[in-house]
Structure 1
């Protein structure tokens, strides 16, 4: 009887190790250099092809005038809702990147849920989440340098005071790391929890399906939302203008200081005269 928990833990460990390993699907050698394509890469290609075919099918025969179909109505409603959401976060300078954010959200969402079809989610691989995070941060820095110029961008690292410059520079590297590790960690955690639930004998009857609705569907979509939401915030921060005090307010403040100084001088003179 004592061997049963040990056996179950060993089987669970083997199953987790098997599922977490990203095996090579195919590869070839070029001048002695092996080029391999693993499961995460191949599944990513499958997702891209499937989503592209679906997009072509759904966007066929769209109308600009006249009566539109229910399919077009639903598509337009979904796009307008997503666009309105991102516009509440992003300013006009970076609104043109909203379609890119939508595409990223769609890819991450499908990648997180594709495990329901028997595939290994690409987001279970660190290289996939790292690549998406780096792509996002490269776009953020491109927008920052384009909007503020090279000198303006480097000057921004010295705000609010020059002493925090190293911290601001370090933030450029910590942002993609946090995006990568957050997405990767949540997907791995959800998968591990599901395997633990399946390993419990009395939980095999119906309960995994209920938990799968949360971890594979809701949590998968939630992680796609968080990733794109943070990227949208980073884009807006990159081009955000610093609030400067109006010139008239500066003049008024200077005039007020001068008046205060004159009043103090007059008060001192009056005090000396009365003394």
Structure 2
């Protein structure tokens, strides 16, 4: 139990010795690693692209086509300009949830990370509203108390849903490893680290895209 509580606690990887010391959390360092891996894989997979795709290019284009169609079905063609943000978001969260397979602690186990992701998602949704409908209509929308409440509850819901599920999966995996260190953890990992990790990434961006679709939809559709 003491070991698990130690694992659950947010840890400082190192401290930058300026301004009295700036602590850098493990989750931040792992995020840098994820960023480096994603950039490296992007360079590898997009190197020497062919007009007629083969091999890994087929897989890459298939994944990106699926993401494009998934978000376009929700947002419509009007929302195509927002696809790079949403696709980057789901790629990062998926990598963050899956990185536990390689011995790293998922950064999404840190509530500061999930809070930041939720905050960025809601800010982007509000920015899309302003871009599509103008700042005046955005301000007028808050005359409805429900919209003002949504501004608080939606990021809180996104944050706690992602944090709670990732943390719960981490706790269960630690318990499984402690009770039965051979065989069972591999099976449990297939669900908690892979399936559930990808599912939580999907749910997060699905809800974000729904909020964005609501923000940018034409008023005559109401």
Q: By how many angstroms is 1:242 displaced?
A: 2.2
Note the C-alpha offset of 1:102: 1.4
1: CA distance between counterparts of 2:221 and 2:176? 56
TM-score (norm 2): 0.94
1:25-64 to 2 correspondences below 5 Å:
25-31=13-19, 33-64=20-51
Structure exhibiting the larger radius of gyration computed from Cα positions: 1
Q: Which runs of structure 2 are paired with 1:11-160 in the superposition (5 Å)?
A: 13-31=1-19, 33-64=20-51, 67-158=52-143
- CA offset at residue 244 of structure 1? 6.6
1:18 aligns to what SS in structure 2?
A: helix
| Whole-angstrom distance in 1 between the partners of 2:141 and 2:158 | 22
* Aligned length in residues: 222
1:27 and 1:244, CA in 2 relative to 1: closer, same or farther beyond 3 A? closer
For the Cα contact (< 8 Å) 2:125–2:211, is it kept in 1?
A: yes
For 1:227, the equivalent position in structure 2 comes to 204
In structure 2, the gaps of 5 or more residues are: none
1:184 aligns with 2:163: yes
User: What does the per-residue CA deviation read over 1:177-224, in whole Å, with 9 as the maximum and x for residues that have no partner?
Assistant: 111110000001111112222333xx3331111111000000000000
**Alpha-carbon distance in 1 for matches of 2:136, 2:21:** 43
**What is the DSSP-based 3-state SS (H/G/I as helix, E as strand, rest coil) of the residue aligned with 2:78?**
coil
Moved over 4 A (4+): none
- Give the whole-Å Cα distance in 1 for the aligned partners of 2:192 and 2:69: 27
The alignment's TM-score, normalised by the length of structure 1, stands at 0.76
Contact 2:16 2:24 (8 Å CA) reproduced: no
RMSD: 1.6
Q: 1:175 pairs with 154, 165, 173, which one?
A: 154
